[in-house]
Amino acid sequence: MQVYLLPVLNDNYIFLLHNPDTNTAIVVDPAIAPPVKAKLAELGADLIAIFNTHHHWDHIGGNQELLEAFPNLVIYGGALDQGRIPHQQVFLNGGDRLDFNGTFGNNPAEVFFIPGHTIAHIGYYFPNSGDLFCGDTLFGGGCGRLFEGTPAQMLNSLQTLAQLPDLTKVWCAHEYTLNNLKFALTVDSQNIALQQRLTAATALRAINQPTIPSTIGLEKQTNPFLGGDRPEIQAKVGFTDPVRVFTKLRRLKDLY
């Protein structure tokens, strides 16, 4: 499975997953349709599915146009997003497994229920290739804002994703890494891995290259929202309880 990253709007990423053996494709969070259609035309591939992680407009805006172009595709989203995602046909819960009846080769996907950014947010994980599509839940060096869920929900979602193998590739839906890492340094200044990551990310962005994907291992080392057990972070926020640490970090980041 090949993952193509399509930068759109200000800082969104659409991901096009292509299986060259079956010449079929799946698109994750199509904010808009034209770049997806262009890439599919270049590949000569058939689009069999849209994976929506949540209902925000910059993740679903291309649904209708893609459905018109590929009338047989299937649109997947979270069960709790029923009524909020245009043309959604499949309503997924955590633990669901998708195999597309073999039309995407031997690349099953597993569904994670990861609320917090919204109450219905889900992620898609491909265990065979180690690719995670986590929408606006886990970002490079940060996490999504809490629009609907509670801090405890978001923390639990992040900790669930952190249990995936360290080499899992994290494909998040926005290029927020640089700003996130600068914030992270304000609460975790002695973290060498974090300092090195900021240097590397700065160099990538200077030549307009994505910092995505990161890995679960790198996020565990450098993302403060997964670092609630680190003494410097606890000292900075004045708490040791994981939910209180997370809540304070999220509030500080909202104000940053």
Residues binding Zn ion (CB under 5 A)? 56, 136
Instruction: Report in angstroms how near the CB of residue 133 gets to Zn ion at its nearest.
Output: 13
Instruction: Report in angstroms how near the CB of residue 136 gets to Zn ion at its nearest.
Output: 4
* Residue bearing tokens 């809490």: 146
- Give φ, ψ of 47 to 5 degrees: -90, 115
Q: Please say which residue, 145 or 251, places its beta carbon nearer to Zn ion.
A: 145
Q: Please say which residue, 136 or 188, places its beta carbon nearer to Zn ion.
A: 136
Catalytic residue among 18, 29, 55, 59: 59
Q: Quick one: three-class SS letters along 41-101? A: HHHCCEEEEEECCCCCHHHHCCHHHHHHHCCCCEEEEEHHHCCCCCCCCEEECCCCEECHH
Q: Please say which residue, 136 or 219, places its beta carbon nearer to Zn ion.
A: 136
d(CA 248, CA 239): 9
Instruction: Decide if 56 is catalytic.
Output: yes
Catalytic residue among 56, 81, 121, 188: 56
Instruction: Decide if 117 is catalytic.
Output: yes
Angstrom distances, CA of residue 248 to CA of 211, 241, 245: 26, 11, 5
Instruction: Decide if 188 is catalytic.
Output: no
Instruction: Report in angstroms how near the CB of residue 73 gets to Zn ion at its nearest.
Output: 22
Instruction: Report in angstroms how near the CB of residue 17 gets to Zn ion at its nearest.
Output: 20
Within 8 A by CB and 6+ apart from 61, the residues are 30, 31, 32, 33
Q: Please say which residue, 56 or 253, places its beta carbon nearer to Zn ion.
A: 56
Q: Mind telling me the catalytic residues? A: 54, 56, 58-59, 117, 136, 174
